[in-house]
Chain A
Amino acid sequence: MSEERQIQLEVLRYNPETDSQPRYQTYTVPCVNEWVVLDALNYVKENLDPTLSYRWSCHMAVCGSCGYMINGEPKLGCKAFIHEYGDHIRVEPLANFPIERDLVTVVEDFIAKLASVKPYLIPKEDKPISAGEFRQTPAELKKYKQYTLCINCMLCYAACPQYGLVPEFLGPAAISMAHRYNQDSRDGGRDQRQEVVATDEGVWECSFVGACSEVCPKHVDPAGALQQVKVASTIDWYKEHLMPWVKK
């Protein structure tokens, strides 16, 4: 049987039209243990305070919308089970992002960075449709499949101290996504992506803290991807500077 208990849900509130700075508001929420934090937020929205703003959609860790700081840790609201917490849970917007309103953050910076690495297949050569599909072996698929699991939830950006310090840093998810396409046997766009990835603000701003991989809800392991990108970019550098006659 479901056990019901009351929790104190402390939520960061901020309305840029009326508030000079963010404040906390605590709601008493009757929960069943099987609930996730997102359920508690929905309870508040439906029963206690319809003015509370937050993003969510799928409730099953697929859409990547409901990332919040839950007791100071970047988590998906739909994956953070109430039974894993005490009776007091604090929910704040994702760290390192400006607040738009309450738990809603401004994500344009991330979207622009993601777009800058051209996260789509750039075929090596154009092929007419009549020539058939680009075929791939299971081994070729395995090389990049893990990195396709990213849901752009931005938890890794909230966890990354480097992104917090240096907002220009391209960041874990965008570089992992670049790596995903670079590793794809059907793709020929790596040189274009390297123009953005192999820069100081690109992969080289990463100091390998590894927090991105710890918080990733889909086990993409962005830190691992970044290390692989560093190795490949280093080999590029030595090739370009020590063996300039070698064509890429």
Chain B
Amino acid sequence: MAKSNKPIFWGLFAAGGTVTAFVTPVLVLLTLFAAMGFSPDLFTYEALRGFAAHWLGKLIILGVIVLSLWHAAHRLRVTVHDFGVRADAVVAYVVYGIAGLGTLMTIVYLLRI
């Protein structure tokens, strides 16, 4: 039997799961704070733009967005399967396609900053 190539997607899924578990709740909370008017200097437009303009900031933003996307894609693929849809190849192309597109867009938009 041939060894599986699923580790590619599962690796991104697992890494993305770790990122979304630790980082996403914090981001949601910070966004809520900002939305409620509680925005210290750290969250000002200039500060965040400065963060996104630095190569390290770009790398961190890229990691969070891309890994979350691939995590969500794989999670959705398995969830669709668990709901009884037996079209794994089609579902895989669709969800990974969206994640791939999102990855490209993230790179493009980050490079433009």
Q: Chain A residues in contact with chain B, CB under 8 A? A: 161, 194-196, 198-202, 204, 207-209, 230-231, 233-234, 236-238
B14 to chain A, nearest CB (A): 7
In the assembled complex, 24 residue pairs joining A and B whose CB atoms fall closer than 8 Å, in A order, are A194-B3, A195-B1, A195-B3, A196-B1, A198-B4, A199-B2, A199-B4, A200-B6, A202-B1, A204-B4, A204-B6, A204-B10, A207-B78, A207-B82, A208-B78, A230-B7, A230-B10, A233-B4, A233-B7, A234-B10, A234-B11, A234-B14, A237-B7, A238-B11
B35 within 8 A of A: no
B36 to chain A, nearest CB (A): 36
Evaluate contact between A237 and B78: CB separation under 8 angstroms.
Answer: no
Give me 17 other A-B pairs in contact (C-beta within 8 A), A204-B4, A237-B3, A237-B11 excluded. A194-B3, A195-B1, A198-B4, A199-B4, A201-B1, A204-B7, A207-B78, A208-B78, A209-B82, A230-B7, A231-B14, A234-B10, A236-B7, A237-B5, A237-B7, A237-B8, A238-B11
The B1-43 residues at the A interface (CB cut-off 8 A) are 1-8, 10-11, 14
Evaluate contact between B4 and A200: CB separation under 8 angstroms.
Answer: yes
- How would you classify the secondary structure of chain A's contact residues: helix, strand, loop or mixed? helix
Evaluate contact between A207 and B81: CB separation under 8 angstroms.
Answer: yes
Question: Can you name the residue of chain B whose Cβ is closest to the Cβ of A230?
Answer: B10
Question: Can you name the residue of chain A whose Cβ is closest to the Cβ of B78?
Answer: A207
Which residues of B sit under 8 angstroms from A204, Cβ to Cβ? 4, 6-7, 10
Evaluate contact between B3 and A198: CB separation under 8 angstroms.
Answer: yes
Contact partner, A230, options B1, B2, B14, Cβ 8 Å: B14
Which residues of B sit under 8 angstroms from A238, Cβ to Cβ? 7, 11
Known A230-B14, A231-B14, A234-B10: A202·B4 in contact at CB below 8 Å: yes
Question: In the complex the two chains form, what is the Cα distance from A199 to B3 in whole Å?
Answer: 4
Which residues of B sit under 8 angstroms from A233, Cβ to Cβ? 4, 7
Q: Top 9 closest A-B pairs, CB basis? A: A237-B7, A234-B7, A204-B6, A199-B1, A204-B4, A234-B11, A207-B78, A200-B4, A198-B3
Question: In the complex the two chains form, what is the Cα distance from A107 to B8 in whole Å?
Answer: 34
Question: In the complex the two chains form, what is the Cα distance from A234 to B1 in whole Å?
Answer: 17
A70 to chain B, nearest CB (A): 25
Which residues of B sit under 8 angstroms from A196, Cβ to Cβ? 1
Which residues of B sit under 8 angstroms from A236, Cβ to Cβ? 7
Which residues of A sit under 8 angstroms from B14, Cβ to Cβ? 230-231, 234
Question: In the complex the two chains form, what is the Cα distance from A111 to B10 in whole Å?
Answer: 29
Question: In the complex the two chains form, what is the Cα distance from A36 to B1 in whole Å?
Answer: 43
A5 to chain B, nearest CB (A): 40
B108 to chain A, nearest CB (A): 25
Question: Can you name the residue of chain B whose Cβ is closest to the Cβ of A170?
Answer: B1
